[in-house]
Structure 1
């Protein structure tokens, strides 16, 4: 019974992780309609950013941001702050919020410009990170946003870097635990339990690879791509564990138990002869 509950716990946390991250990504993608937004940073249109042409963010530098908003609704549009943020797996790793005061009348367009100092960016993130420039209204609800691919020139010892290193350490520990279990013949005789033993490390491989690709500036894996890749590696690891041969029975233990049984038989007290009756 304890082995079954242990196996359930092994599969439960990766599944919950995928569900939570998928839900977070879906929430982040929800955007209101009725407002058009255009923006440029240092004179470059951020709508055209890509892996080959990312928005370069240098720690402790100053960037110039210009935003134009068109209100296509029937109500006045109030803008209270603008956020430049970077997200990975639905988690925010850098964010810069600037308070503004702008009101856009129905059917009108207005623009605003400001300077943003990227203080502390080196300790927040590094590598290619997907982000967005978003404007918020008086109720702190997002009004409009533009996705942007950023090239953050931060440190590997930043929050994002330590996040990836922690994923790598946990993945290595998971495989080390499985390797010791194989060497000591401790794997379960049931196929599905052997598959679960490799499921979590397989999930870690997908997450770590996507992190390496981001830090090495190969590509920008969005949340859906992270989850898809991690799901594939987790499934492959599970199938490898499921198809692996079961542990061999310990013949020495069987022989010893047989000898002990025979010894116990020899130690039984001999039956005393009955006295002769007259």
Structure 2
């Protein structure tokens, strides 16, 4: 018998409970270690008047609207109206180390034969992967592109090659600001401080983008030449 979970399907008609290695999904952080085979147990409660035909259990991890890992296990069973069914199965995420790292939002779903989600649970997963995983490489790529964006904007500023229009100069700094926000979100995830989520992503990305826009807007006009020392001496005389 599974321990009750506090997370349920949003519509309330079909309820899903799950645990991994005896720990309820939705309570605390779900540890996913690619070196260990996990035992997954689920219970589907059908409170509707229609039979539910479960075909697949999916465990997936996403960040920034991208799916970085997904495991589908075929566990076919039917849940009659006003009843419940439980199943358990092993999960061997041996390749997880090459896919993700750090804190990520994780979803457990039961899916029917038409590939439609019957019910789902969401939690925060602690993925014990490698820095050279797909997610880690994605973060490093964003870091490099962000550095190049800042370098390009600042070099253009130093050489007075920015557009004369203030808003155009601001837009030149925008990609660097967005990249900075993305780097912050990914870094906090990899360091296991904050998992990516809309509430965490939006403030960082929007805040960094706004700061970069403001910086570009207040940069000096490229046609505004600073007076030379000789001109300054002549003005003083």
Normalising by structure 2, what TM-score?
0.88
Unpaired runs of 5+ residues, structure 1, are 1-29, 252-278
Partner of 1:6: none
Asked if the contact 1:89/1:222 (under 8 Å) is kept, the reply is yes
Alignment of structure 1 residues 1-278 onto 2, 5 Å: 32-49=11-28, 54-249=29-224
State the distance in 1 between where 2:10 and 2:72 align: 19
State the distance in 2 between where 1:48 and 1:142 align: 22
- Superposed displacement of residue 227, structure 1: 2.9
Unpaired runs of 5+ residues, structure 2, are 1-8, 227-237
State the distance in 2 between where 1:33 and 1:140 align: 20
Name the one with the larger helix percent: 1
Larger Rg, first or second structure (1 or 2)? 1
- Superposed displacement of residue 228, structure 1: 3.3
State the distance in 2 between where 1:95 and 1:118 align: 10
Asked if the contact 1:132/1:145 (under 8 Å) is kept, the reply is yes
Q: Let me know the Cα RMSD of the aligned residues.
A: 1.7
- The secondary structure found in structure 2 opposite 1:48 is coil
Could you list the runs of 4 or more consecutive aligned residues of structure 1 that deviate by over 2 angstroms after TM superposition? Answer: 30-33, 248-251
- Superposed displacement of residue 60, structure 1: 3.2
Q: Deviations over 1:30-71 (max 9, x none)?
A: 95551011111111111212xxxx211111310011111110
Name the one with the larger strand percent: 2
